Every structure is written in structure tokens, then in C-alpha cells.
Amino acid sequence: MNDIPKKPEKPKIEASSETQSPATEEGAPELPPVPDHIEPSIHTQIHKLDIDPAYKEKALERVINIIKGNKFDIEKVKLANFEGEIIQFPATTTLKITTKQSHKKMPGRIRGPTAVENQQGLKVALAKEYAKMESDPDLIRQITDAAISREDKCFAQQNLVIQLPFWKKDFVWFEGCESCRATGKTKCQRCGGKGVDACGRCSGTGTCACSQCRGAQMIQGPQGGKVQCPTCHGRGRMGCVLCSQTGRVNCPICRTKGFTQCPVCKGHGWSSNIEIVEIEARADFTYPKEELPDKIVALIEEYGAKIDGHAKITIVHLPDDPESLKEREEKKTEEQKRKDQLESKTFMVEINYEVLLPHGHVEYDIGGESYYAFMFGYKGEVVHSSPFLEEIIRNGIRKLDDALDGRGDIAENLRMAAEYRTLRDVILCAARLPLVKAIAVIKERNSIGIKDETINDLVLKADKAIKKITNKPRVYGMLAGSAAAAGLFALYFLGPLHALVEQKAKNPALTGLADFACLGVGIYLTVLFMQKFAAGAVRKAMTGIIKPENARKMTPKLGSKGLLAFVVVAALFLGIIETSRHTGANTPLWYKSVIAKIVK
């Protein structure tokens, strides 16, 4: 491919060692360095370079490692053809700097933040600050450092938001309090602004009921008859001593002033509107998708920032040189500066990268058949390969199908399937791990040569076949464990043990806890019996598949039988307690309480 003519090179700031991303594994073959005449460019350039033979061997080694142990002669695995090249292309992360604002209102005139006249003045001040950002080389440098100091150097990050806490501005404008009309005072709500209030004792009448006769005018005489009250002289009322018979008292809220402090502005008469302005950067990643091979684009989209582990990515230059920024700002006329301040322009900082990514099309000769794959990156990752492994293990898959369908001896069919390393891994993972994790492990170990759907199907088949082997042993184990649990419950509840625990505990809650601990022990015994019985069947089936010492470590999954065992043991637990209620044994108090509520 002919090189696209390059634009004149921009001044660059050399990247430090931290800004380099040599993505090679220890021991991975290195591609030859890019020739000196290849300069970083803003255009896509593809350079076909001779691939190191060791790199080609890496492609062959990956496939051999997958095929090994699958009853296939690796001498018949050859690299028939390899067409590779290093693609060099630019990429850009554009950081769009936006402001985020928060508002709060406080009483009084707050000092410290930058003062503006009003909201319109705030907009003008913000436009000025935003315009200053573009010509502030230190701020641009800080923004860039915040981006490239990340582990991913902001490469292949779309819509990533980066917080920039080093820039923050506070603005304030003052306004008179509308509640008190900027006086700081409001009419007293208690007295209505009069400063006095009706007497609470006499209700504003100036008189109140006589304290001796309670308004009856008469009191009990010495001879048992009624006599005139000597305190009120038969009037039944007397002057109020609290208000001195005026019916009015000083307002306890405003203390005769008639006004109180404004609760909105706290008596200041003014409020401060504080606007807190911060900035953040939103990343927009671009690269020449249209000019790159479709497979490279698909891999970049799939791997995202992780592509850094397969390519050499270099920051070729930082944003505009600080000196040129100053010079450009000085050349602006006053009219241009005012226009920039009033217009909310988008401030953007660009980070440019140069990317070197090797890739190649590989043709394998496996037993005389041609299979194709795509290889990329300095690690020699092989992807998009033909399903050659499925063909190699086809006979083993048939034996796994026979085991699942019950054709012949299940254990023998599994052993024959396990002669293939890939199927042995499938069987062992299905026996030991949850299905989702087992599938993930097999996909990781067999990343090429077999379709994901095939792996899912094989793990499910192996799981079902193993369950068929352990189905009866799990049932026998459940019966044996349930019998042991029933014996334990009978010993505890029908014998003297429960009464002894109740006597020692002297607390119904502790006794109940001991009761359910007994249930837990019964469940544990049942599960233990089921695992032992099932493990024996699995060890027998795995003879010849794995080493005996490893087979002893296997813990078969119980599946739905485990849940059934829990139900059976719980039923036995309640049955033994109910028996204790009818036989006169010591029945738990909590059980008696439950039965009493049910009977009611």
C-alpha cells in the first residue's frame, strides 16, 4: 500500500518512559523495529515489514498447545502460510472540558468568592473564565497529565468522564431579602407588631376568678352554712395580678419591640447566592476506522483500552505549545476577546497517539486439511480460527454423547471420551465446578479451534452424564444420612439430653438455639453421606482419567437431591419433636407456642 502524504510535522514534546506502552510479554517474540524513515503522521500508514521467524513460530506454537493431548500427531501440524504486516495509524482522544455548577443560598453578605452583580453578571464572568482556560498552558498541562497518568492513558476510552479537582471557582452575588424587604426585621407574629399581648391568665379582661371561692362568691362557714367570701367580698372575681388589671402583658417573643429578626436572612437584610463552578473532561476517542482492516477495527472495539496489551502505543505530542498559546492570545483584538468571553465555546484538549499493531493471516496444515486463523498483537494472539479442534476430538464427543444417552457403560464411555485432553478438562470441570464457571474455564483454556456454542454443549452433556453416574449413590447417601439424622434427633429430643440442655441453659432462647443447632448437624450428616456415596461412584468412573490422589479430592455436586435432602431432614426434625409431645418427653417451648397459635 502506498503511503499517504504526510502533513508538516507539529512541534512535539517527547514522551517520557511513563507515556510509552510496550505491550510485550516476557519471552514473546519482538517484531523488528519500525525503520527510521517512518515518521509519526496524522494519516494512516500501513507498512509491510518482514515478520521475525520467531513470531511466525508463535502462531504455530499456539495451535500445537491447543491440540496437544488430543490423540493427534503434532508432527502433522504445520504452518502452511503466513501473511503479516505492521499497521501504523494515529488515534486521538479529545477531552471536551465542561463546567458543572452547584448553587447554595446563605444569609448575609459572604466574603471570599468572586463578586458579580447578578445572574447575568455570573454568565459573563463564567465566559471570561472559560475563555482563559484555552490560553492557560499550565491548566492545559494539568488536564493532559490527569488523562495520561491514568493506567489506560485515556486510550480507547469513549465517553469517559475525568474529574478535574484542581480547578474550582466560587462566585457570589447579593440580593435584598424579599421576606423583610432588606430591613432584616419582620412583624412579630405573636403580637401582630403591637409589642404587647393579651394576658394569658385573665384572657385580656384584667380580672380572674377568685382564688379562694373559685368564682362561687360563697365559702363554707364555721357552722356548716354558707358565708360570703372574704377575699373577693362576694364578687367572685378579683383583679389579675399578672397584668396589673390591664389585660395586657409584654410580648415574650419581641419583648415590646413589635418586630423580630427575619428568619430568612437572619437579620442581615441581604442574602448571598453562591455559585460553585468546577470542571470535568469527557473523552471522545477517534481513529481512522474507514482506513483500517475490518478485523482490526472489530478487535479495537472489542478490547477497548485492553488493546494496549497487544499494541505499541506512544503519545507523539501533547497539546499546543505554551509559548504559541500565549502568542496567539496576545494577537487577539479586544473585540475578539469580548466575543470569546460572551460566547460559550467548547474548550477541548487533544491527546494524540501513534499506534503500531502487528497482524497477519495464518493458514495451518493440520493432518492434510487447511484451517485459517487471524493473528494480531505483539503477544501473538490467535483469533477467528476455523474449528479444527472440533474435528480432532469428534470421536471423543461421540463417546460423551453415548454416556449421556445411556448407550453402554456410562463410566466406560466417559473414560474413552477423557482420552482427549480437551474433553478430560470438560468432564473434570463439570464434576467440580458450577456450570457457568466450568464453561468459563474451558473457554479460557481452549480459546481457539472450537466454537463457544460447542463448549457450552459439551459442559452441559458432561454434567448430565456425571449426574447419571451419581444419581443412585446420592439417593442411597440421602437415605443413610437421613437415618443417622433421625437417630440423632431421637436421642436429643426423646431422651434426657434436651431436658438437661434446658436445665443448664435457663434461657428459652439459648435452648431454641441448641435445638436448631441439632437440626444443622443432622443436615450436615446427610450431606456428608451423600457426598461420600457420590464421590465413591465418581472415583470409580474417573479411574484412568485422573490420578487416584486427585480423584479423592473431588467433591461431587449434589444438585436437586441436596434440596430434597434438606426437606427430608427438616421433616424428620419436626416429626421427632411432635413425637416427643405425644410421648411425654421434654418438648421444646418454642414448638409448644407454635402449636398453641395454630390450634387457636
Q: Is 169 helix (H, G, I), strand (E, B) or coil?
A: strand
How does residue 25 score in pLDDT terms, banded at 50, 70 and 90?
very low
Handedness of CA 576, 582, 584, 589 (dihedral sign): positive
Distance CA 152, CA 147 (A): 9
Query: Distance of CA 581 to CAs 276, 339, 578, Å?
Result: 72, 93, 5
Cβ burial of 555 (10 Å; 0-12, 13-18, 19+) is exposed
Distance CA 292, CA 563 (A): 55
The number of residues in the chain equals 600
Question: Is residue 559's pLDDT more than 80?
Answer: no
- As given in the structure block, the three cell numbers for residue 351 are 491527546
**Which amino acid type is present at position 209?**
A
Question: Is residue 294's pLDDT more than 60?
Answer: yes
Q: What are the φ/ψ torsions at residue 296 (nearest 5 degrees)?
A: -65, -45
DSSP calls for 540-581: HHTBTTB-HHHHTT-----THHHHHHHHHHHHHHHHHHHHHH
Give the model's pLDDT for residue 169: 92
pLDDT tens digit string along 118-142? Answer: 889 998 998 888 888 888 889 989 9
Instruction: Determine how many CB atoms are found less than 10 A away from the CB of residue 512.
Output: 16
Instruction: Determine how many CB atoms are found less than 10 A away from the CB of residue 33.
Output: 11
Is residue 414 a contact partner of residue 403, using CB atoms and an 8 Å limit?
A: yes
Distance CA 314, CA 308 (A): 10
pLDDT tens digit string along 349-407? Answer: 889 999 988 888 889 999 999 999 988 888 888 888 889 999 999 999 999 999 888 88
Give the model's pLDDT for residue 526: 92
State the average pLDDT for the chain: 81
DSSP calls for 57-96: HHHHHHHHHHHTTSS--GGGEEEEEEEEEEEEEEEEEEEE
Question: Is residue 556's pLDDT more than 50?
Answer: yes
Q: Is 163 helix (H, G, I), strand (E, B) or coil?
A: strand
pLDDT tens digit string along 26-85? Answer: 333 343 343 333 344 444 555 555 666 777 788 888 899 999 999 999 999 998 888 888
Q: What average pLDDT does range 421-440 have in this prediction?
A: 89
196: nearest Cα among 131, 244, 163, 152: 244
pLDDT tens digit string along 255-271? Answer: 888 888 888 888 888 88
Distance CA 342, CA 90 (A): 35
Distance CA 121, CA 216 (A): 74
How many Å separate Cα 520 from the centre of its chain?
A: 34
How would you classify residue 234: left for phi > 0, otherwise alpha for psi between -120 and 50, otherwise beta? left
Percent of the chain with pLDDT over 90: 26
How many Å separate Cα 64 from the centre of its chain?
A: 39
Strands 312-317 and 20-21: antiparallel
355 secondary structure, DSSP code: E
Is residue 344 a contact partner of residue 130, using CB atoms and an 8 Å limit?
A: yes
Is residue 206 a contact partner of residue 239, using CB atoms and an 8 Å limit?
A: yes
DSSP calls for 203-260: TTSSEEE-TTTTT-SEEE-TTSSEEE-TTTTTSSEEE-TTTTTSSEEE-TTTTTSSEE
Strands 226-228 and 196-198: unpaired
CA dihedral 7, 11, 17, 19 (to 10 degrees): -60
Distance CA 508, CA 496 (A): 17
Give the model's pLDDT for residue 521: 93
Cα within 13 Å of Cα(571), Cβ side = 8
Is residue 344 a contact partner of residue 93, using CB atoms and an 8 Å limit?
A: no
Cα within 13 Å of Cα(404), Cβ side = 16
- As given in the structure block, the three cell numbers for residue 302 are 472489542
Which of the residue ranges 38-47, 237-246, 275-284 has the most confident prediction, judged by mean pLDDT? 275-284
Give the model's pLDDT for residue 522: 93
Strands 207-209 and 259-261: unpaired
Does this model's pTM top 0.85? My answer is: no
Is residue 96 a contact partner of residue 282, using CB atoms and an 8 Å limit?
A: yes
- As given in the structure block, the three cell numbers for residue 569 are 431432614
Instruction: Determine how many CB atoms are found less than 10 A away from the CB of residue 557.
Output: 19
Task: Show Cβ contacts of residue 103 under 8 Å, excluding neighbours closer than 6 positions.
Answer: 273, 274, 275, 276
| Helix (H) / strand (E) containing 98 | strand 77-107
Cβ burial of 87 (10 Å; 0-12, 13-18, 19+) is buried
Distance CA 490, CA 575 (A): 10
Task: Show Cβ contacts of residue 590 under 8 Å, excluding neighbours closer than 6 positions.
Answer: 508, 512, 515
Question: Is residue 440's pLDDT more than 90?
Answer: yes
90: nearest Cα among 284, 291, 251: 291
Q: Is 264 helix (H, G, I), strand (E, B) or coil?
A: coil
